[in-house]
Chains A and B, each alone.
Chain A
Protein backbone atom coordinates (compact mmCIF):
# COMPACT_ATOMS: atom_id res chain seq x y z
CA UNK A 1 0.00 0.00 0.00
CA UNK A 2 2.16 2.82 1.22
CA UNK A 3 5.17 1.37 -0.56
CA UNK A 4 3.66 2.77 -3.72
CA UNK A 5 3.77 6.33 -2.55
CA UNK A 6 7.23 6.18 -1.13
CA UNK A 7 8.65 4.39 -4.08
CA UNK A 8 7.80 6.90 -6.75
CA UNK A 9 10.47 9.52 -6.35
CA UNK A 10 10.07 12.87 -7.95
CA UNK A 11 12.52 15.49 -8.76
CA UNK A 12 11.44 18.45 -6.67
CA UNK A 13 12.80 20.87 -9.22
CA UNK A 14 10.67 19.36 -11.90
CA UNK A 15 9.13 22.30 -13.69
CA UNK A 16 6.16 20.35 -14.97
CA UNK A 17 3.73 22.16 -12.68
CA UNK A 18 4.78 25.55 -13.80
CA UNK A 19 2.83 25.52 -17.07
CA UNK A 20 0.30 28.25 -17.66
CA UNK A 21 -2.98 27.19 -16.00
CA UNK A 22 -5.38 27.33 -18.96
CA UNK A 23 -3.34 25.49 -21.55
CA UNK A 24 -2.09 23.15 -18.80
CA UNK A 25 -5.60 22.16 -17.88
CA UNK A 26 -6.61 21.58 -21.47
CA UNK A 27 -3.49 19.56 -22.06
CA UNK A 28 -4.17 17.46 -18.96
CA UNK A 29 -7.69 16.75 -20.18
CA UNK A 30 -6.35 15.83 -23.59
CA UNK A 31 -4.04 13.23 -22.12
CA UNK A 32 -6.52 12.12 -19.48
CA UNK A 33 -9.05 11.08 -22.11
CA UNK A 34 -6.40 9.04 -23.88
CA UNK A 35 -4.93 7.34 -20.84
CA UNK A 36 -6.12 3.75 -20.61
CA UNK A 37 -5.10 3.23 -16.99
CA UNK A 38 -6.90 6.33 -15.81
CA UNK A 39 -10.04 5.54 -17.78
CA UNK A 40 -10.15 1.90 -16.68
CA UNK A 41 -9.47 2.70 -13.03
CA UNK A 42 -11.90 5.58 -12.87
CA UNK A 43 -14.46 3.50 -14.75
CA UNK A 44 -14.37 0.66 -12.22
CA UNK A 45 -14.58 3.07 -9.30
CA UNK A 46 -17.50 4.92 -10.88
CA UNK A 47 -19.44 1.75 -11.67
CA UNK A 48 -19.06 0.50 -8.11
CA UNK A 49 -19.92 3.94 -6.73
CA UNK A 50 -23.07 4.06 -8.82
CA UNK A 51 -23.96 0.54 -7.72
CA UNK A 52 -23.54 1.64 -4.11
CA UNK A 53 -25.62 4.79 -4.66
CA UNK A 54 -28.42 3.38 -6.79
CA UNK A 55 -28.48 -0.28 -5.72
CA UNK A 56 -29.95 0.29 -2.27
CA UNK A 57 -32.83 2.26 -3.81
CA UNK A 58 -34.02 -0.84 -5.65
CA UNK A 59 -34.09 -2.99 -2.53
CA UNK A 60 -37.04 -2.60 -0.20
CA UNK A 61 -35.94 -4.55 2.87
CA UNK A 62 -33.06 -3.35 5.10
CA UNK A 63 -29.82 -5.22 4.27
CA UNK A 64 -29.73 -7.21 7.51
CA UNK A 65 -33.36 -8.35 7.26
CA UNK A 66 -34.00 -12.09 7.12
CA UNK A 67 -35.74 -12.14 3.77
CA UNK A 68 -35.12 -15.47 2.12
CA UNK A 69 -34.36 -19.13 2.65
CA UNK A 70 -31.05 -19.70 4.49
CA UNK A 71 -27.81 -20.82 2.79
CA UNK A 72 -28.96 -20.50 -0.80
CA UNK A 73 -26.41 -20.18 -3.59
CA UNK A 74 -26.72 -17.45 -6.21
CA UNK A 75 -30.07 -17.58 -7.99
CA UNK A 76 -32.09 -15.24 -10.21
CA UNK A 77 -33.97 -14.06 -7.14
CA UNK A 78 -30.97 -13.63 -4.83
CA UNK A 79 -28.12 -12.70 -7.14
CA UNK A 80 -25.35 -13.32 -4.64
CA UNK A 81 -27.21 -15.98 -2.65
CA UNK A 82 -28.21 -15.75 1.00
CA UNK A 83 -26.41 -16.08 4.33
CA UNK A 84 -26.89 -18.73 7.00
CA UNK A 85 -29.74 -16.62 8.34
CA UNK A 86 -31.40 -15.92 5.00
CA UNK A 87 -30.05 -12.41 4.53
CA UNK A 88 -29.70 -11.29 0.93
CA UNK A 89 -25.96 -11.05 0.18
CA UNK A 90 -26.52 -8.76 -2.80
CA UNK A 91 -28.50 -6.31 -0.67
CA UNK A 92 -25.70 -6.35 1.91
CA UNK A 93 -23.14 -5.86 -0.84
CA UNK A 94 -24.72 -2.73 -2.33
CA UNK A 95 -25.34 -1.19 1.09
CA UNK A 96 -21.83 -2.22 2.10
CA UNK A 97 -20.36 -0.49 -0.96
CA UNK A 98 -22.05 2.72 0.17
CA UNK A 99 -20.59 2.45 3.67
CA UNK A 100 -17.15 1.52 2.38
CA UNK A 101 -17.04 4.48 0.00
CA UNK A 102 -18.23 6.79 2.78
CA UNK A 103 -15.56 5.52 5.18
CA UNK A 104 -12.84 5.86 2.54
CA UNK A 105 -13.94 9.32 1.47
CA UNK A 106 -14.27 10.77 4.95
CA UNK A 107 -11.07 9.13 6.19
CA UNK A 108 -9.22 10.32 3.08
CA UNK A 109 -10.51 13.87 3.43
CA UNK A 110 -9.59 14.14 7.11
CA UNK A 111 -6.13 12.66 6.52
CA UNK A 112 -5.50 14.91 3.50
CA UNK A 113 -6.54 18.03 5.40
CA UNK A 114 -4.25 17.29 8.33
CA UNK A 115 -1.45 16.23 6.02
CA UNK A 116 -1.81 19.44 4.00
CA UNK A 117 -1.89 21.75 7.01
CA UNK A 118 1.12 20.07 8.63
CA UNK A 119 3.04 19.70 5.37
CA UNK A 120 2.44 23.24 4.12
CA UNK A 121 3.22 24.86 7.45
CA UNK A 122 6.33 22.78 8.09
CA UNK A 123 7.64 23.21 4.56
CA UNK A 124 6.83 26.89 4.18
CA UNK A 125 7.64 28.25 7.60
CA UNK A 126 10.65 26.05 8.33
CA UNK A 127 12.71 26.65 11.45
CA UNK A 128 11.47 25.61 14.85
CA UNK A 129 7.89 24.98 13.68
CA UNK A 130 9.27 22.63 11.03
CA UNK A 131 11.31 20.78 13.67
CA UNK A 132 8.30 20.34 15.94
CA UNK A 133 5.90 19.30 13.19
CA UNK A 134 8.49 16.97 11.75
CA UNK A 135 8.95 15.30 15.10
CA UNK A 136 5.19 14.94 15.47
CA UNK A 137 4.94 13.47 11.97
CA UNK A 138 7.69 10.97 12.69
CA UNK A 139 6.08 9.88 15.94
CA UNK A 140 2.66 9.29 14.39
CA UNK A 141 4.39 7.61 11.46
CA UNK A 142 6.11 5.02 13.63
CA UNK A 143 3.14 4.12 15.84
CA UNK A 144 1.27 1.25 14.19
CA UNK A 145 -2.02 2.79 13.10
CA UNK A 146 -4.21 -0.24 13.55
CA UNK A 147 -2.99 -0.85 17.10
CA UNK A 148 -3.98 2.68 18.16
CA UNK A 149 -7.33 2.37 16.42
CA UNK A 150 -7.90 -0.93 18.21
CA UNK A 151 -7.54 0.69 21.60
CA UNK A 152 -9.61 3.74 20.69
CA UNK A 153 -12.42 1.77 19.05
CA UNK A 154 -12.53 -0.82 21.81
CA UNK A 155 -12.96 1.78 24.54
CA UNK A 156 -15.21 4.13 22.63
CA UNK A 157 -17.31 1.35 21.21
CA UNK A 158 -17.56 3.06 17.84
CA UNK A 159 -21.13 2.98 16.61
CA UNK A 160 -21.01 5.01 13.42
CA UNK A 161 -19.08 4.90 10.18
CA UNK A 162 -18.30 8.60 10.52
CA UNK A 163 -16.54 8.21 13.87
CA UNK A 164 -14.55 5.27 12.54
CA UNK A 165 -13.51 7.19 9.43
CA UNK A 166 -12.50 10.28 11.39
CA UNK A 167 -10.26 8.26 13.67
CA UNK A 168 -8.70 6.58 10.64
CA UNK A 169 -8.06 10.02 9.16
CA UNK A 170 -6.52 11.25 12.40
CA UNK A 171 -3.92 8.47 12.37
CA UNK A 172 -3.05 7.99 8.70
CA UNK A 173 -1.85 11.45 7.61
CA UNK A 174 1.92 11.35 8.35
CA UNK A 175 3.36 10.15 5.04
CA UNK A 176 1.16 12.66 3.20
CA UNK A 177 2.42 15.45 5.44
CA UNK A 178 5.98 14.36 4.75
CA UNK A 179 5.50 14.28 1.00
CA UNK A 180 3.70 17.65 0.91
CA UNK A 181 6.37 19.18 3.11
CA UNK A 182 9.09 18.10 0.70
CA UNK A 183 7.18 19.55 -2.27
CA UNK A 184 6.46 22.80 -0.45
CA UNK A 185 10.10 23.07 0.50
CA UNK A 186 11.12 23.00 -3.14
CA UNK A 187 8.52 25.59 -4.15
CA UNK A 188 9.33 27.94 -1.30
CA UNK A 189 12.36 29.49 -2.94
CA UNK A 190 10.76 30.11 -6.33
CA UNK A 191 10.51 33.61 -7.73
CA UNK A 192 6.75 33.83 -7.72
CA UNK A 193 6.62 32.94 -4.04
CA UNK A 194 9.23 35.57 -3.25
CA UNK A 195 7.22 38.06 -5.26
CA UNK A 196 4.08 37.26 -3.29
CA UNK A 197 6.00 37.64 -0.07
CA UNK A 198 7.42 40.99 -1.19
CA UNK A 199 3.94 42.22 -2.04
CA UNK A 200 2.93 41.63 1.55
CA UNK A 201 0.80 38.49 1.31
CA UNK A 202 0.48 36.55 4.54
CA UNK A 203 1.40 32.89 4.96
CA UNK A 204 -2.14 31.60 4.47
CA UNK A 205 -2.57 33.55 1.27
CA UNK A 206 0.76 32.46 -0.18
CA UNK A 207 0.02 28.83 0.61
CA UNK A 208 -3.49 28.84 -0.83
CA UNK A 209 -2.85 31.13 -3.83
CA UNK A 210 0.73 30.35 -4.85
CA UNK A 211 1.91 27.02 -3.48
CA UNK A 212 -1.15 24.77 -3.36
CA UNK A 213 -2.29 25.49 -6.96
CA UNK A 214 1.21 24.65 -8.19
CA UNK A 215 1.07 21.21 -6.68
CA UNK A 216 -2.64 20.53 -7.12
CA UNK A 217 -1.96 17.43 -9.19
CA UNK A 218 0.24 16.07 -6.45
CA UNK A 219 -2.40 16.80 -3.82
CA UNK A 220 -4.99 14.94 -5.87
CA UNK A 221 -2.75 11.90 -6.14
CA UNK A 222 -2.11 11.99 -2.41
CA UNK A 223 -5.82 12.14 -1.67
CA UNK A 224 -6.55 9.16 -3.90
CA UNK A 225 -3.97 7.01 -2.12
CA UNK A 226 -5.25 8.09 1.31
CA UNK A 227 -8.76 7.23 0.14
CA UNK A 228 -7.76 3.67 -0.79
CA UNK A 229 -5.75 3.31 2.38
CA UNK A 230 -8.72 4.33 4.54
CA UNK A 231 -10.88 1.71 2.88
CA UNK A 232 -8.34 -1.00 3.67
CA UNK A 233 -7.89 0.10 7.29
CA UNK A 234 -11.65 0.38 7.82
CA UNK A 235 -12.21 -3.11 6.47
CA UNK A 236 -9.50 -4.52 8.75
CA UNK A 237 -11.11 -2.87 11.77
CA UNK A 238 -14.51 -4.18 10.75
CA UNK A 239 -13.05 -7.63 10.37
CA UNK A 240 -11.53 -7.65 13.85
CA UNK A 241 -14.95 -6.78 15.22
CA UNK A 242 -14.43 -3.08 15.88
CA UNK A 243 -16.52 -1.80 13.01
CA UNK A 244 -19.69 0.25 13.24
CA UNK A 245 -22.24 -1.71 15.21
CA UNK A 246 -25.13 -0.61 13.05
CA UNK A 247 -25.56 -1.10 9.35
CA UNK A 248 -23.38 -3.13 7.05
CA UNK A 249 -20.04 -2.67 5.30
CA UNK A 250 -17.90 -4.87 3.12
CA UNK A 251 -15.55 -5.51 6.04
CA UNK A 252 -18.44 -6.44 8.32
CA UNK A 253 -19.70 -8.88 5.69
CA UNK A 254 -16.31 -10.59 5.68
CA UNK A 255 -16.35 -10.68 9.46
CA UNK A 256 -19.80 -12.25 9.55
CA UNK A 257 -18.87 -14.79 6.90
CA UNK A 258 -15.76 -15.77 8.84
CA UNK A 259 -17.53 -15.81 12.20
CA UNK A 260 -20.32 -18.09 10.95
CA UNK A 261 -17.86 -20.47 9.22
CA UNK A 262 -18.89 -19.66 5.65
CA UNK A 263 -15.73 -21.24 4.26
CA UNK A 264 -16.12 -24.48 6.19
CA UNK A 265 -19.69 -24.68 4.92
CA UNK A 266 -18.55 -23.92 1.37
CA UNK A 267 -20.66 -20.76 1.10
CA UNK A 268 -18.29 -19.01 -1.25
CA UNK A 269 -20.94 -16.52 -2.38
CA UNK A 270 -20.88 -15.01 1.10
CA UNK A 271 -17.19 -14.10 1.36
CA UNK A 272 -16.10 -13.62 -2.26
CA UNK A 273 -18.22 -10.54 -3.19
CA UNK A 274 -17.21 -8.28 -0.28
CA UNK A 275 -13.49 -9.01 -0.67
CA UNK A 276 -13.66 -8.69 -4.43
CA UNK A 277 -15.46 -5.37 -3.96
CA UNK A 278 -12.74 -3.96 -1.72
CA UNK A 279 -9.97 -5.26 -3.98
CA UNK A 280 -11.67 -3.80 -7.06
CA UNK A 281 -12.14 -0.36 -5.49
CA UNK A 282 -8.66 -0.09 -4.04
CA UNK A 283 -6.95 -1.64 -7.06
CA UNK A 284 -8.84 0.62 -9.45
CA UNK A 285 -7.87 3.63 -7.34
CA UNK A 286 -4.19 2.64 -7.54
CA UNK A 287 -4.34 2.11 -11.29
CA UNK A 288 -6.20 5.38 -11.84
CA UNK A 289 -3.55 7.02 -9.70
CA UNK A 290 -0.76 5.75 -11.93
CA UNK A 291 -2.71 6.95 -14.96
CA UNK A 292 -3.21 10.41 -13.44
CA UNK A 293 0.47 10.57 -12.64
CA UNK A 294 1.23 9.96 -16.31
CA UNK A 295 -1.25 12.65 -17.32
CA UNK A 296 0.32 15.25 -15.06
CA UNK A 297 3.92 14.21 -15.50
CA UNK A 298 5.04 14.23 -19.13
CA UNK A 299 8.17 12.27 -18.26
CA UNK A 300 6.13 9.19 -17.39
CA UNK A 301 3.98 9.23 -20.49
CA UNK A 302 4.34 6.33 -22.85
CA UNK A 303 4.43 7.57 -26.40
Chain B
Protein backbone atom coordinates (compact mmCIF):
# COMPACT_ATOMS: atom_id res chain seq x y z
CA UNK B 1 0.00 0.00 0.00
CA UNK B 2 1.23 3.44 -0.87
CA UNK B 3 -0.57 5.52 1.75
CA UNK B 4 -2.20 3.99 4.78
CA UNK B 5 -3.94 5.23 7.88
CA UNK B 6 -3.84 2.87 10.84
CA UNK B 7 -6.31 3.41 13.68
CA UNK B 8 -6.09 7.16 13.24
CA UNK B 9 -8.02 9.13 15.85
CA UNK B 10 -8.26 12.85 16.29
CA UNK B 11 -9.77 14.38 19.41
CA UNK B 12 -10.04 18.14 19.65
CA UNK B 13 -9.66 19.33 23.25
CA UNK B 14 -12.53 21.27 24.78
CA UNK B 15 -12.26 25.00 24.22
CA UNK B 16 -14.32 28.05 24.88
CA UNK B 17 -17.45 26.28 26.12
CA UNK B 18 -17.30 23.62 23.41
CA UNK B 19 -16.73 20.21 24.92
CA UNK B 20 -14.24 17.67 23.63
CA UNK B 21 -14.87 16.61 20.04
CA UNK B 22 -13.85 13.25 18.62
CA UNK B 23 -13.55 14.38 15.01
CA UNK B 24 -12.07 11.17 13.65
CA UNK B 25 -12.22 7.77 15.36
CA UNK B 26 -10.15 4.70 14.53
CA UNK B 27 -9.93 5.28 10.84
CA UNK B 28 -8.21 2.55 8.82
CA UNK B 29 -7.64 3.25 5.17
CA UNK B 30 -5.31 1.92 2.51
CA UNK B 31 -4.70 3.72 -0.74
CA UNK B 32 -2.85 2.24 -3.73
CA UNK B 33 -0.44 4.18 -5.87
CA UNK B 34 -2.21 6.10 -8.62
CA UNK B 35 -5.60 5.61 -7.05
CA UNK B 36 -8.12 8.39 -6.45
CA UNK B 37 -9.98 7.87 -3.21
CA UNK B 38 -12.83 10.14 -2.18
CA UNK B 39 -13.79 10.87 1.40
CA UNK B 40 -17.53 11.45 1.26
CA UNK B 41 -19.84 12.50 4.03
CA UNK B 42 -22.00 15.25 5.47
CA UNK B 43 -20.38 18.31 7.03
CA UNK B 44 -18.78 17.58 10.38
CA UNK B 45 -18.21 13.91 9.55
CA UNK B 46 -14.42 14.18 9.92
CA UNK B 47 -13.49 13.97 6.24
CA UNK B 48 -11.67 17.29 6.15
CA UNK B 49 -9.91 16.55 9.45
CA UNK B 50 -8.73 13.25 7.98
CA UNK B 51 -7.41 15.05 4.93
CA UNK B 52 -5.67 17.65 7.06
CA UNK B 53 -4.01 14.92 9.09
CA UNK B 54 -2.69 13.37 5.88
CA UNK B 55 -1.43 16.83 4.87
CA UNK B 56 0.16 17.36 8.28
CA UNK B 57 -1.88 20.38 9.33
CA UNK B 58 -3.35 18.40 12.21
CA UNK B 59 -1.57 15.80 14.31
CA UNK B 60 -3.43 12.54 15.03
CA UNK B 61 -4.22 12.06 18.71
CA UNK B 62 -3.35 8.41 18.16
CA UNK B 63 -2.70 6.08 15.25
CA UNK B 64 -0.24 6.08 12.39
CA UNK B 65 -0.05 7.58 8.95
CA UNK B 66 2.30 5.71 6.63
CA UNK B 67 3.48 6.95 3.25
CA UNK B 68 5.51 4.68 1.00
CA UNK B 69 6.50 2.46 3.92
CA UNK B 70 7.56 5.29 6.24
CA UNK B 71 5.66 6.69 9.21
CA UNK B 72 5.08 10.39 8.62
CA UNK B 73 3.24 11.32 11.81
CA UNK B 74 5.91 13.70 13.00
CA UNK B 75 6.79 15.12 9.60
CA UNK B 76 5.67 18.75 9.13
CA UNK B 77 3.61 19.53 6.01
CA UNK B 78 6.48 21.06 4.08
CA UNK B 79 8.48 17.84 4.23
CA UNK B 80 5.71 15.48 3.14
CA UNK B 81 6.03 16.15 -0.59
CA UNK B 82 2.29 16.36 -0.98
CA UNK B 83 0.21 19.10 -2.57
CA UNK B 84 -3.21 20.32 -1.72
CA UNK B 85 -5.98 22.12 -3.55
CA UNK B 86 -8.00 24.18 -1.11
CA UNK B 87 -11.71 24.87 -1.07
CA UNK B 88 -11.00 28.60 -1.20
CA UNK B 89 -8.21 28.03 -3.80
CA UNK B 90 -5.82 29.93 -1.51
CA UNK B 91 -4.10 31.62 -4.41
CA UNK B 92 -1.39 34.03 -3.29
CA UNK B 93 -3.01 37.38 -4.02
CA UNK B 94 0.28 39.25 -4.32
CA UNK B 95 1.74 36.96 -6.98
CA UNK B 96 0.72 36.53 -10.62
CA UNK B 97 -0.37 33.22 -12.13
CA UNK B 98 3.13 32.16 -13.12
CA UNK B 99 4.61 33.07 -9.73
CA UNK B 100 1.78 31.28 -7.97
CA UNK B 101 2.39 28.05 -9.85
CA UNK B 102 6.17 28.37 -9.59
CA UNK B 103 6.05 29.02 -5.82
CA UNK B 104 6.77 25.48 -4.68
CA UNK B 105 9.50 25.02 -7.28
CA UNK B 106 11.18 28.25 -6.19
CA UNK B 107 11.13 26.98 -2.61
CA UNK B 108 12.99 23.88 -3.83
CA UNK B 109 15.56 26.10 -5.60
CA UNK B 110 15.03 24.48 -8.97
CA UNK B 111 16.88 26.27 -11.80
CA UNK B 112 14.92 29.01 -13.50
CA UNK B 113 14.75 27.53 -16.98
CA UNK B 114 13.37 24.27 -15.62
CA UNK B 115 10.77 26.14 -13.59
CA UNK B 116 9.61 27.96 -16.70
CA UNK B 117 9.40 24.69 -18.60
CA UNK B 118 7.44 22.87 -15.93
CA UNK B 119 5.07 25.75 -15.28
CA UNK B 120 4.36 26.14 -18.99
CA UNK B 121 3.63 22.43 -19.18
CA UNK B 122 1.02 22.48 -16.42
CA UNK B 123 -0.47 25.69 -17.78
CA UNK B 124 -1.06 23.71 -20.97
CA UNK B 125 -2.46 20.83 -19.00
CA UNK B 126 -5.10 22.98 -17.30
CA UNK B 127 -5.77 24.98 -20.48
CA UNK B 128 -4.40 28.27 -19.19
CA UNK B 129 -1.77 28.88 -21.87
CA UNK B 130 -0.70 32.50 -21.94
CA UNK B 131 -2.24 33.44 -18.61
CA UNK B 132 1.11 33.47 -16.80
CA UNK B 133 1.35 37.18 -16.11
CA UNK B 134 -2.26 37.73 -15.09
CA UNK B 135 -2.97 38.83 -11.53
CA UNK B 136 -5.30 36.48 -9.60
CA UNK B 137 -7.92 39.24 -9.40
CA UNK B 138 -8.15 39.21 -13.19
CA UNK B 139 -9.24 35.57 -13.28
CA UNK B 140 -12.70 34.05 -13.15
CA UNK B 141 -13.60 31.51 -10.47
CA UNK B 142 -13.02 28.59 -12.82
CA UNK B 143 -9.64 29.94 -13.89
CA UNK B 144 -8.58 30.48 -10.29
CA UNK B 145 -9.54 26.89 -9.65
CA UNK B 146 -7.31 25.79 -12.51
CA UNK B 147 -4.42 27.85 -11.17
CA UNK B 148 -4.83 26.21 -7.77
CA UNK B 149 -4.84 22.79 -9.43
CA UNK B 150 -1.83 23.63 -11.58
CA UNK B 151 0.09 24.88 -8.57
CA UNK B 152 -0.47 21.53 -6.87
CA UNK B 153 0.23 19.43 -9.98
CA UNK B 154 3.48 21.14 -10.95
CA UNK B 155 5.08 19.71 -7.82
CA UNK B 156 4.49 16.17 -9.07
CA UNK B 157 3.50 15.34 -5.52
CA UNK B 158 3.53 11.93 -3.91
CA UNK B 159 -0.08 12.52 -2.94
CA UNK B 160 -2.49 15.13 -4.25
CA UNK B 161 -5.01 16.27 -1.67
CA UNK B 162 -8.17 18.07 -2.68
CA UNK B 163 -10.51 19.65 -0.14
CA UNK B 164 -13.88 20.28 -1.78
CA UNK B 165 -12.13 22.03 -4.63
CA UNK B 166 -15.27 22.51 -6.72
CA UNK B 167 -17.73 23.70 -4.12
CA UNK B 168 -17.33 27.38 -5.01
CA UNK B 169 -18.06 26.90 -8.70
CA UNK B 170 -21.42 27.03 -10.41
CA UNK B 171 -23.05 23.76 -11.43
CA UNK B 172 -22.00 23.71 -15.08
CA UNK B 173 -18.39 24.58 -14.41
CA UNK B 174 -18.27 22.02 -11.64
CA UNK B 175 -19.28 19.26 -14.03
CA UNK B 176 -16.63 20.33 -16.51
CA UNK B 177 -13.90 20.58 -13.88
CA UNK B 178 -14.54 17.20 -12.33
CA UNK B 179 -14.03 15.38 -15.62
CA UNK B 180 -10.96 17.55 -16.13
CA UNK B 181 -9.54 16.65 -12.74
CA UNK B 182 -10.15 12.97 -13.36
CA UNK B 183 -8.50 13.17 -16.79
CA UNK B 184 -5.37 14.87 -15.45
CA UNK B 185 -5.17 12.60 -12.42
CA UNK B 186 -5.26 9.52 -14.63
CA UNK B 187 -2.86 11.02 -17.15
CA UNK B 188 -0.27 11.80 -14.49
CA UNK B 189 -1.12 8.76 -12.38
CA UNK B 190 -1.15 10.78 -9.16
CA UNK B 191 -2.28 9.15 -5.94
CA UNK B 192 -5.08 11.42 -4.78
CA UNK B 193 -7.38 11.93 -1.85
CA UNK B 194 -10.47 13.95 -2.61
CA UNK B 195 -12.89 15.35 -0.04
CA UNK B 196 -16.46 16.17 -0.96
CA UNK B 197 -20.01 16.11 0.34
CA UNK B 198 -21.42 15.75 -3.16
CA UNK B 199 -22.19 12.12 -3.95
CA UNK B 200 -22.35 12.65 -7.71
CA UNK B 201 -18.89 14.20 -7.63
CA UNK B 202 -17.67 11.21 -5.66
CA UNK B 203 -19.25 8.74 -8.07
CA UNK B 204 -17.83 10.35 -11.21
CA UNK B 205 -14.31 10.91 -9.92
CA UNK B 206 -13.31 8.09 -7.70
CA UNK B 207 -11.68 4.72 -7.95
CA UNK B 208 -12.96 4.10 -4.46
CA UNK B 209 -15.25 5.98 -2.13
CA UNK B 210 -14.98 6.18 1.66
CA UNK B 211 -18.24 7.20 3.28
CA UNK B 212 -17.73 8.80 6.68
CA UNK B 213 -20.23 9.74 9.34
CA UNK B 214 -19.63 11.22 12.78
CA UNK B 215 -15.92 10.52 12.69
CA UNK B 216 -16.29 6.89 11.66
CA UNK B 217 -15.89 5.13 8.34
CA UNK B 218 -19.24 3.65 7.34
CA UNK B 219 -18.11 1.84 4.21
CA UNK B 220 -15.30 1.71 1.67
CA UNK B 221 -15.78 0.54 -1.91
CA UNK B 222 -15.87 1.30 -5.60
CA UNK B 223 -18.74 3.48 -6.81
CA UNK B 224 -20.53 0.37 -8.11
CA UNK B 225 -20.18 -1.49 -4.82
CA UNK B 226 -21.29 1.53 -2.84
CA UNK B 227 -24.45 1.90 -4.88
CA UNK B 228 -25.39 -1.70 -5.32
CA UNK B 229 -24.34 -3.13 -2.01
CA UNK B 230 -24.57 -0.46 0.70
CA UNK B 231 -23.64 -1.92 4.04
CA UNK B 232 -26.02 0.11 6.13
CA UNK B 233 -28.81 2.58 6.11
CA UNK B 234 -26.52 5.63 6.23
CA UNK B 235 -24.63 4.68 3.09
CA UNK B 236 -27.79 3.59 1.30
CA UNK B 237 -29.37 6.95 2.02
CA UNK B 238 -26.28 9.06 1.35
CA UNK B 239 -25.48 7.52 -2.02
CA UNK B 240 -28.70 7.53 -3.99
CA UNK B 241 -32.11 7.11 -2.40
CA UNK B 242 -33.64 4.05 -0.82
CA UNK B 243 -36.79 2.49 0.61
CA UNK B 244 -36.23 0.27 3.60
CA UNK B 245 -38.60 -2.67 3.77
CA UNK B 246 -38.42 -5.12 6.66
CA UNK B 247 -39.05 -8.81 6.16
CA UNK B 248 -38.57 -12.33 7.51
CA UNK B 249 -36.39 -14.97 5.85
CA UNK B 250 -38.30 -18.06 4.69
CA UNK B 251 -35.65 -20.02 2.85
CA UNK B 252 -32.20 -19.56 1.28
CA UNK B 253 -30.54 -21.73 -1.35
CA UNK B 254 -28.14 -21.23 -4.27
CA UNK B 255 -28.02 -17.46 -3.96
CA UNK B 256 -31.78 -17.24 -3.90
CA UNK B 257 -33.54 -15.86 -0.86
CA UNK B 258 -37.22 -16.20 -0.16
CA UNK B 259 -38.53 -13.53 2.18
CA UNK B 260 -41.88 -12.46 3.44
CA UNK B 261 -42.34 -8.73 3.09
CA UNK B 262 -45.46 -6.57 3.19
CA UNK B 263 -47.59 -9.69 3.71
CA UNK B 264 -46.39 -11.33 0.49
CA UNK B 265 -43.62 -13.86 -0.16
CA UNK B 266 -41.11 -13.09 -2.89
CA UNK B 267 -37.84 -14.64 -4.03
CA UNK B 268 -34.72 -12.50 -4.52
CA UNK B 269 -31.70 -13.37 -6.63
CA UNK B 270 -27.95 -12.61 -6.38
CA UNK B 271 -27.82 -12.70 -2.59
CA UNK B 272 -24.28 -13.19 -1.22
CA UNK B 273 -24.87 -12.88 2.50
CA UNK B 274 -25.86 -15.89 4.58
CA UNK B 275 -29.10 -15.71 6.55
CA UNK B 276 -30.91 -18.14 8.83
CA UNK B 277 -34.53 -19.06 8.53
CA UNK B 278 -36.91 -16.74 10.37
CA UNK B 279 -34.19 -14.07 10.65
CA UNK B 280 -35.48 -10.53 10.52
CA UNK B 281 -33.95 -8.61 7.63
CA UNK B 282 -34.25 -5.28 5.87
CA UNK B 283 -34.37 -4.84 2.14
CA UNK B 284 -32.77 -1.81 0.53
CA UNK B 285 -34.99 -1.00 -2.42
CA UNK B 286 -33.90 1.82 -4.70
CA UNK B 287 -36.80 3.79 -6.19
CA UNK B 288 -35.62 2.90 -9.70
CA UNK B 289 -35.72 -0.80 -8.79
CA UNK B 290 -39.44 -0.69 -8.18
CA UNK B 291 -42.08 -1.19 -10.80
CA UNK B 292 -45.41 0.54 -10.57
CA UNK B 293 -47.87 -1.12 -12.98
CA UNK B 294 -51.54 -1.64 -13.51
CA UNK B 295 -51.30 -5.44 -13.04
CA UNK B 296 -49.06 -8.54 -12.96
CA UNK B 297 -46.99 -7.45 -9.94
CA UNK B 298 -47.03 -9.05 -6.50
CA UNK B 299 -47.95 -6.12 -4.19
CA UNK B 300 -51.21 -4.23 -4.10
CA UNK B 301 -50.89 -0.51 -3.49
CA UNK B 302 -52.53 2.90 -3.65
CA UNK B 303 -50.90 5.95 -5.25
CA UNK B 304 -50.54 8.67 -2.61
CA UNK B 305 -48.41 11.15 -4.51
CA UNK B 306 -47.52 11.41 -8.15
CA UNK B 307 -45.01 13.86 -9.58
CA UNK B 308 -44.27 14.19 -13.25
CA UNK B 309 -40.61 15.12 -13.71
CA UNK B 310 -40.29 14.78 -17.47
CA UNK B 311 -37.73 12.03 -17.77
CA UNK B 312 -39.29 10.03 -14.95
CA UNK B 313 -42.38 9.94 -12.83
CA UNK B 314 -42.04 9.69 -9.12
CA UNK B 315 -44.74 7.89 -7.14
CA UNK B 316 -45.27 7.41 -3.43
CA UNK B 317 -47.27 4.22 -3.19
CA UNK B 318 -48.83 2.99 0.00
CA UNK B 319 -48.30 -0.75 0.24
CA UNK B 320 -49.62 -2.53 3.29
CA UNK B 321 -49.34 0.62 5.39
CA UNK B 322 -45.82 1.59 4.27
CA UNK B 323 -44.99 4.32 1.78
CA UNK B 324 -42.72 3.12 -1.00
CA UNK B 325 -41.14 5.61 -3.37
CA UNK B 326 -40.92 4.39 -6.92
CA UNK B 327 -39.55 5.84 -10.15
CA UNK B 328 -40.94 4.91 -13.54
CA UNK B 329 -39.07 6.06 -16.63
CA UNK B 330 -40.18 6.58 -20.21
CA UNK B 331 -43.52 8.15 -19.41
CA UNK B 332 -44.55 8.49 -23.08
CA UNK B 333 -45.45 4.86 -23.46
CA UNK B 334 -46.45 4.52 -19.84
CA UNK B 335 -49.77 5.16 -18.41
CA UNK B 336 -49.80 7.89 -15.75
CA UNK B 337 -51.47 7.04 -12.48
CA UNK B 338 -53.42 9.61 -10.54
CA UNK B 339 -53.40 9.99 -6.79
CA UNK B 340 -55.72 7.49 -5.13
CA UNK B 341 -55.54 5.00 -8.00
CA UNK B 342 -55.08 1.28 -7.21
CA UNK B 343 -51.86 -0.17 -8.67
CA UNK B 344 -49.59 -3.18 -8.46
CA UNK B 345 -46.00 -2.82 -7.27
CA UNK B 346 -43.05 -5.10 -7.94
CA UNK B 347 -39.32 -5.08 -7.20
CA UNK B 348 -36.38 -5.92 -9.46
CA UNK B 349 -35.55 -9.24 -7.74
CA UNK B 350 -31.93 -9.32 -8.88
CA UNK B 351 -30.93 -5.88 -7.65
CA UNK B 352 -31.96 -5.77 -4.03
CA UNK B 353 -29.52 -5.60 -1.16
CA UNK B 354 -30.62 -7.51 1.93
CA UNK B 355 -29.16 -6.55 5.31
CA UNK B 356 -29.55 -8.08 8.75
CA UNK B 357 -32.02 -6.02 10.72
CA UNK B 358 -29.60 -4.50 13.27
CA UNK B 359 -27.62 -2.81 10.51
CA UNK B 360 -30.61 -0.77 9.67
CA UNK B 361 -31.67 0.37 13.10
CA UNK B 362 -28.58 2.52 13.55
A binds B: no
